[in-house]
Structure 1
Amino acid sequence: MTSSENGSHLARRSLLAGAGSLGVAAALPAPAAQAAPSKAVPSRGRYPSNRPGLTPYGLADTRLDLWPRKDNSFVLPLELRPRDKERGQVWMRDTYVNCFVVDGHPLYVATGTTRVPGLEAAAPWNDGIFVWVSRSLRGPWKLADTTGIRPGAEKGKVWSPEFAGENRPGRTVVAPWQKYWHDDRFGKRGQAWAPELHHFRGTWYIVACMGDHSRNVGSFLLVSEGGVEGPYRLAEGNREKPFGDPVSGGPDFIEPGAYHHIDGSLYSEGDDAWLVLHNDLYAKFRDDMEDIVPTTNLPKFQQQPYSPEPYLEGAYVFKHGGKYYLLHAAWNRASINPDGSTRHAYDPPGSGRVQYQYDAVVAVSDRFEGPYSKRWTAGVGAGHNNFFVDHDGHLWATFFRNPNFGHWSDPSRLADAAVAGVVRLEWTGPRGNRLYVERRDRGRASSD
């Protein structure tokens, strides 16, 4: 999670595991406005206006202007690996894309959660983290050239539990808790989820999460000893465990004490960097980037939660226009109001509530730690994403179209789900201070 100003309990756990029915979308009520919106807050001049807010707080905005569409988005033409040839595109969740200036030239990077041949999801195991690079957002996108590091390994694979044999005294590539293991219920277990790639103070870092089928579940940091392709080693603070404390949660097959905070992300500003963990924790990295401070009892962002607060994922911080934007992924669940109308809201699971879209919800603050504003729907179906700025100064978000539940799980749409997608964003200016998926009419005010 780099700033745009410095240079560039169902949730994902069971989603990545492939749980649930692919047919639930067929039972969903049609999208509708759920309540009378408050008056729009217009911006002046060349900026779009803020979307009208929905009341009560926690309702989801489903209007088509906030969807990634053909006129505002596209799927990245990533170089195919042998496993991708049959599908014709890379299967990816938790898509991450960013743009950095390296040696005076723009370098775009892409990564995400991928699966192995023969499995329908990234569970109960996958084979690690792949990276793609490009000089343009439109491509061509090539797999990072790792052939000089591991001539016999699959190109583009920068880290994997398979690399445990590269451990040396004083240099850990794969910790014991990250290695593959086996049990009678799942067989081979262990996977890396939701990686992000960052270029900070001249060094490449990857922050990622060991998924639910791992010995320990939680976030970790990799440090490159070369370029974007690696080789990567594990940060010292993760040799024994993931970042932070063990917490309750997760599926029943996670061993007691093994579940830590997932979806780790990195925010940098100037010479400082912070770890961001789902859904409300953060900690500053040590100056040497080998661990966080504090290592336990991490501080929390000051947020305005929904009531009741659902399970949120994919926390991410992005700075633009002097403001801090805190992103979360939240399930928009559809249900029926007493009058028969459709309700779309960021509700917890419950009777009569059906998962509809995996949305991106955002709040804004003057300070990194908050307090943050009330959240708003920034993108329908664009949850578990990141915001970034391209080399020309345009704002973008990633999306992947969740294939396991809701709209994109419908068999008629499934072939177009789990993709590496990007969608243009719009900023409502220094008065509005909101970021949205770019709308068709852009909500422009008529004055000025």
Structure 2
Amino acid sequence: MGLALAPRFSSVVEGAVPGGRLGDWPDPESYGIADTRLDLWPRDDNSFVLPLELRPRDRELGRVWLRDTYVNCFDVEGRAVYVATGTTRVAGLETAAPWNDGIFVWTAPALRGPWTLADTTGIRAGAERGKVWSPEFVGENTSGRTVVAPWQEYWTDTEFGKRGEAWAPEVHYVRGKWYIVACMGDHSRKVGSFLLVSEGGVAGPYRVATGNLEKPFGESFIGGPAFVEPGAYHHIDGGLYAEGDDAWLVLHNHWYARFADDMEDIVPSTGLRQFRETAYSPEPYLEGAHVFRHAGKYFLVQAAWDRTSINADGTVRNAYDTAATGRVQFQYDAVVAVADAFEGPYSERWTAGVGAGHDNFFTDHNGGLWATFFRNPNYGYWSNAARLAGAAVPGVVRLEWTGDRLYVRRRKP
């Protein structure tokens, strides 16, 4: 499928705002219609793929294969430290399932690099450099320290063989300590989000937080593919938002929870809560959620599939619809809403980046605004299987702020 037709828009006039910035774009007339304009796509003039250090498995492809790309910049004792991570695959598999070998981290002094694998040689001599956590580290468990919980270990069955994968990791630096929030994926014994705590630097060594020794965060519910065993599915795509002395767990599909002061678990008395949002109708499944604060506002960023269908008049409809017959996955977009408080209420969502879903927004050490993207390979990125070889990349794209909204940096007229 080629590029879909542009959506119909309201009569709101767009224009410049003080400082030479572009203003808010008019939204499609019906809330939930996707904005497909080419200005909202990562392009050569507003984005690039990070030159991450290659591992032996990457050399044939010539770059790192990465989904759910995460990049951030932290001030560590007065110096900028950039980190990158994401969902990786093992050599010989086309995807990151039914198993992968854990979480890799890259670091750099600047966004354009040089990007090197985190130095784990002093932690595991002879192990693959940059691998900071994996189910294969289960042998490091001791009576007082758990590196891999039982529900995170590899297992096998007759349908898939070896099973268990880590998805969508995020690296965070909170109150002088390094953390990783990640998810055990659909082929794991239990599916859901967990927290790793570093006992050293960004390279680790990491252990599992005490709140995840028995299970992922939250309670189990019915969800995921049919092969997920009953009782195994929990909330996925965990992220972390910190502000001052407070920190929150941000989950897929509208959920959040406050972390306890020691960051070992979420606060049990409050448990999981839902953001106050302006929902689409119908509300589709949303994932890859995180909160980003800028200029005193809270931006709730989520990933939504733009699905194409045919209107009664024969024109193409692009919308953040629920899955149904006749609705084809077109792009995996970043949609954003804004609020004055972390919990909301959040505004109507807008399309901030086409094909930039399951990203994260961050600020570089010069105050520049960026988002990540990875070009979802499901059904071919940009809905064109010929471009599949360029999918699953560690990409970053510049953002622009209108004074009200955040968008992928658009072309100025």
Q: Shorter-chain TM-score: what band?
A: over 0.9
Residues 93-150 of structure 1: CA distance to partner in whole angstroms, max 9, x if unpaired? Answer: 0000000011211000000000000000000000000000000100110000000000
Q: Which residue of 2 aligns with 1:314?
A: 288
Select which of 306, 310, 314 maps to 1:340. 314
Deviations 1:303-351 (A, max 9, x none): 0111001111111000001000001100001111111111110011122
Do the aligned residues in 2 keep the contact of 1:354 with 1:406 (CA within 8 Å)? no
Of 23, 30, 37, the match for 2:3: 30
- Correspondences of 1:267-306 after superposition (within 5 Å): 267-294=241-268, 297-306=271-280
| Cα gap change, 1:95 to 1:119, in 2 (>3 Å) | same
Is 1:45 equivalent to 2:18 in the alignment?
yes
Letter matched to residue 34 of structure 2: A
Q: Per-residue deviation at 1:40?
A: 3.2
Structure 2 residue aligned with 1:202: 176
2:406 to 429, 432, 435: 435
Q: Aligned runs of 1:379-390 on 2, under 5 Å?
A: 379-390=353-364
Hey, what's the Cα distance between the residues in 1 that align with 2:328 and 2:30?
Answer: 19
1:253 aligns with 2:233: no
Distance 1:40 1:203 in 2: 46
CA distance in 2, matches of 1:294, 1:237: 10
1:112 maps to 2:119 = no
Mapped contact 2:2–2:383 kept (Cα < 8 A): no
1:70 is matched by which residue type in structure 2?
A: D
The answer to whether the Cα contact below 8 Å between 1:423 and 1:437 also exists between their aligned partners in 2 is yes
| Secondary structure of residue in 1 paired with 2:17 | coil
Residue type at the aligned position of 1:105? R
| Structure 2 residue 134 is matched with structure 1 residue 186 | no
Are the counterparts in 1 of residues 381 and 391 from structure 2 also a CA contact under 8 Å?
no
Q: Relative to structure 1, is the Cα distance of residues 78 and 286 closer, same or farther in structure 2, using a 3 angstrom cutoff?
A: same
Partner SS, residue 164 of structure 1: helix
The whole-number CA distance in structure 1 between the counterparts of 2:278 and 2:308 is 22
C-alpha deviation, 1:41, in angstroms? 5.4
Partner Cα separation in structure 1 for residue 139 and residue 3 of structure 2: 52
Q: Distance in 1 between matches of 2:227 and 2:220?
A: 15
- The one-letter code sitting in structure 1 at the alignment partner of 2:77 is D
The DSSP-based 3-state class of the residue aligned with 1:414 is: helix
RMSD: 1.2
- The alignment status of 1:377 with 2:351, answered yes or no, reads yes
2:136 is paired with a residue whose SS is helix
Q: Secondary structure at the match of 2:400?
A: strand
Aligned mates of 1:111, 1:255 — CA distance in 2 = 29
Relative to the length of structure 1, the TM-score reads 0.90
Report the Cα offset of residue 408 of structure 1.
4.1
How far apart are the structure 1 equivalents of 2:7 and 2:399? 24
Partner amino acid for 1:35? R
**Alignment partner of 1:149 out of 111, 118, 123:** 123
Contact 1:402–1:409 (8 Å) recurs in 2: no
- Asked if the contact 1:29/1:334 (under 8 Å) is kept, the reply is no
Task: Report the identity percentage.
Answer: 71
Shift of 1:294: 2.8
Partner letter of residue 32 of structure 2? G
In 2: Cα distance, 1:44 partner to 1:173 partner: 51
Contact 2:359 2:373 in 1 (8 A): yes
Tell me which residue corresponds to 2:300: 326
Q: CA deviation at 1:439?
A: 0.3
1:45 partner letter? P
**191-200 or 43-52, which deviates more:** 43-52
1:60 maps onto 2:31 in alignment: no
SS in 2 for 1:145: coil
Q: Distance in 2 between matches of 1:397 and 1:108?
A: 14
Offset from partner CA, 1:44-73 (integer Å, 9 cap, x none): 311320011111100000000000000000
Question: 2: distance between equivalents of 1:380 and 1:341?
Answer: 20
2-structure distance, mates of 1:30, 1:182: 42
- The CA distance in 2 between the partners of 1:119 and 1:303, in whole Å, is 39
Distance 1:329 1:295, change over 3 A: farther
TM-superposed CA distance for 1:295, in Å, is: 6.8
- Equivalent-residue separation in structure 2 for 1:384 and 1:262 (angstroms): 12
Residues 304-313 or 259-268, more deviating: 304-313
Residues 335, 145 of structure 1: alpha-carbon distance in 2 compared, 3 angstrom cutoff: same
Q: Indicate the SS of the match to 2:11.
A: coil
Residue 224 in 1 paired to residue 224 in 2? Answer: no
- Between 1 and 2, higher relative CO (CA 8 Å, sep ≥ 6) is seen in 1
Structure 2: distance between partners of 1:296 and 1:211: 26
What residue number does 2:102 align with?
Answer: 128
1:297 is displaced (CA, Å) by: 4.7
Q: Any unmatched runs of 5+ in structure 1?
A: 1-27, 444-448
Q: Supply the distance in 1 between the matched residues of 2:86 and 2:221 (Cα, whole angstroms).
A: 25
Which residue, out of 327, 341, 345, partners 1:367?
A: 341
Farther off after superposition, 337-346 or 368-377: 337-346
